[in-house]
Amino acid sequence: MVRNIIITAGGTSERIDDVRMISNFSSGRLGLAVARAFLEAGAMKIEKIYYLCDRNTNAPTDDRVEVIRVMGVQGLLEALEQLLTTKKIDAVIHAMAVSDYTVKEVTTLSAIRSGGEPGGDSRENSGGDSGENSGGDSGKPSSGEIPAEGKISSEIDDLVIVLKRTPKVIGEIKKLQEDTILVGFKLLTGVKQEVLIETGHKLLQKNRCSMVLANDLTEITGEKHVGYLIAPDGTYEKLSTKKQIAEAIVRKTRALLAEMEGMVR
Amino acid sequence: MVRNIIITAGGTSERIDDVRMISNFSSGRLGLAVARAFLEAGAMKIEKIYYLCDRNTNAPTDDRVEVIRVMGVQGLLEALEQLLTTKKIDAVIHAMAVSDYTVKEVTTLSAIRSGGEPGGDSRENSGGDSGENSGGDSGKPSSGEIPAEGKISSEIDDLVIVLKRTPKVIGEIKKLQEDTILVGFKLLTGVKQEVLIETGHKLLQKNRCSMVLANDLTEITGEKHVGYLIAPDGTYEKLSTKKQIAEAIVRKTRALLAEMEGMVR
What's the gap in Å between the CA of B264 and the closest CA on chain A?
Answer: 32
Residue B154 CA, chain-centre distance (Å), reads 29
Interface-testing mutation among B98, B100, B201, with chain A (most A C-beta atoms within 10 A): B100
Chain A positions touching B24 (Cβ under 8 A) are: 19-21, 134-135
Predicted model pTM = 0.77
Question: For residue B153, what pLDDT is reported?
Answer: 77
What's the gap in Å between the CA of B136 and the closest CA on chain A?
Answer: 4
Nearest one of B264, B170, B249 to B208, comparing CA atoms: B170
E-assigned strand segments in chain B: 2-8, 14-15, 20-24, 45-53, 65-69, 91-94, 101-108, 159-165, 181-188, 211-221, 224-230, 236-241
Nearest one of B51, B47, B44, B69 to B7, comparing CA atoms: B51
Check CB contact under 8 Å for A163 and B160.
yes
Could you say which DSSP state residue B168 is in? -
Closest CB to A133: pick one of B56, B140, B170: B170
Question: 10 Å Cβ neighbour count for B51?
Answer: 26
Check CB contact under 8 Å for A100 and B136.
no
Contact present, B112 and B104 (Cβ < 8 Å) = no
What's the gap in Å between the CA of B64 and the closest CA on chain A?
Answer: 25
Stretch A8-31: mean pLDDT: 90
Cα separation, A5 vs A257, whole angstroms: 12
**Helix, strand, coil proportions of chain A in percent (round to 5)?**
30, 30, 40
Residue A220, SS3? Answer: strand
Positive or negative: CA dihedral B117, B119, B123, B129: positive
Check CB contact under 8 Å for B187 and A137.
yes
Check CB contact under 8 Å for B189 and A18.
yes
**φ and ψ at residue A241, rounded to 5 degrees:** -140, 165
Contact present, B229 and B243 (Cβ < 8 Å) = no
Q: Read off the pLDDT of residues B28-61 as tens digits, 9 standing for 90 and up.
A: 999 999 999 999 987 678 999 999 999 878 899 9
Question: For residue A264, what pLDDT is reported?
Answer: 64
Average per-residue pLDDT in chain A?
86
Could you say which DSSP state residue A233 is in? T
Question: For residue B221, what pLDDT is reported?
Answer: 87
Q: What number of C-beta contacts closer than 8 Å exist between A and B? A: 223
Cα separation, B27 vs A237, whole angstroms: 39
Task: Give me the interface pTM, i.e. the ipTM.
Answer: 0.75
Check CB contact under 8 Å for A133 and B97.
yes
Q: Read off the pLDDT of residues A62-88 as tens digits, 9 standing for 90 and up.
A: 999 999 999 999 999 999 999 999 999
Positive or negative: CA dihedral A6, A10, A16, A17: negative
Nearest one of A189, A242, A180, A195 to A28, comparing CA atoms: A242
Nearest one of B194, B3, B172, B175 to B87, comparing CA atoms: B3
Stretch B210-239: mean pLDDT: 94
Question: For residue B90, what pLDDT is reported?
Answer: 97
Closest CB to A131: pick one of B96, B127, B168: B168
Positive or negative: CA dihedral B193, B195, B199, B201: positive
Positive or negative: CA dihedral B251, B252, B253, B259: positive
Interface-testing mutation among A133, A158, A172, with chain B (most B C-beta atoms within 10 A): A133
Closest CB to B20: pick one of A24, A132, A207: A24
Check CB contact under 8 Å for B98 and A56.
no
